[in-house]
Amino acid sequence: MFKRFRRVRINKTIRELAEETRLDIKDFIYPLFIKEGRGERKEVVSMPGVFQMSIDEALKECEELLGLGINKIVLFGIPETKDSIGSDALSDEGIIAKAIRAIKKHFGQNMLVITDLCFCEYTDHGHCGILDLELGSVDNDATLEITARQALVHANAGVDMIAPSGMMDGAVETIREALDGAGFVNLPIMSYSTKFASAYYGPFRDVAESAPSFGDRKSYQMNPANRREALAESLEDEAQGADILMIKPALAYLDIVREIRDATLLPICVYNVSGEYSMLKFAANAGIIDYDKVLMETMVSFKRAGADMIISYHAKDVAKLLKGGNS
């Protein structure tokens, strides 16, 4: 006798009972892009609904997020002045250090503040660290030294979690040693452990103003064709002391998410990146998809593949849909 799978799909109540993967707004982290100034709130043309904002506007945004049940953010900085080593990122009066202090002062433990730890937004050349001009790329070990300094700036400002994204070899170990040596033994690291050199990042470089002025990042970000190397990268960061592993981008790399999920007991995060976000938004604006349904199906795919948490520009829309019972 054949199996009647439809028995557990026959009506909505039974389908809900048998549902294997569920979304919860507690799973989501919302990115914020902070710039100097006051009263600044500039929408990014390539990312409808995403803004560059000054610290005072970011505080208003946090109020809205908390009202939607979103209590986790990741901060990216857009400094007023950039230079060859990203000095703003190394200053206690830099844009991100000031943003951390302001958000923690206003919201305390009600808002978990994560910081993206990299230099591409802060350097005048747009690469993720100190350049080796002979190599024509980033000097890995020289960048590790300033990465440790950047981590301590964020820690001293009161950040709740640090997320190194530069894909420098040895970054997690370097940051862990620096934090522990300064007494921040309980400050967790969420490593961008498997980050691909992806074309899906295009709109992000508009909002973060971080496009490289020459070349690309293929010498330090991963080849999208490499599955085994992707696994090795994440397992190496686990060995160096990462507390959470991240795969970025998400949508085109669900096989990698599943493989890493099967290889580690650590929590896994995926970054639903700018290109993935903009594709859905512009497709919705063109009337060619049902945005709400495609959005939720996409989010479920991340969880089904093995992600525990999701960084997404869609988080506010997801929160509204979950509250409305449209999951």
Active site residues: 195, 248
Encoded tokens for 273: 């990146």
Question: What is the residue type of 247?
Answer: I
Provide the H-helix boundaries in the chain. 12-17, 55-67, 95-107, 140-157, 171-181, 202-207, 227-240, 254-263, 274-285, 291-305, 315-323
Cα–Cα distances in angstroms (integers) from residue 266 to residues 56, 187, 234, 309, in the given order: 35, 16, 10, 12
Provide the H-helix boundaries in 169-272. 171-181, 202-207, 227-240, 254-263
Encoded tokens for 74: 């990741």
The pairing of beta strand 309-312 with beta strand 268-272? parallel
Alpha carbons 260 and 78: distance in angstroms, whole number: 32
Coarse DSSP helix, strand, coil percentages of the chain, rounded to the nearest 5 percent: 45, 20, 35
Phi then psi dihedrals of residue 114, to 5 deg = -110, 145
What burial class does residue 249 get, using C-beta atoms within 10 Å of its C-beta: 0-12 exposed, 13-18 middle, 19+ buried?
buried
Buried b (16+ CB within 10 A) or exposed e, 280-314: bbeebeeeeeebbeebbebbbbbbebbbebbbbbb
Phi then psi dihedrals of residue 259, to 5 deg = -65, -40
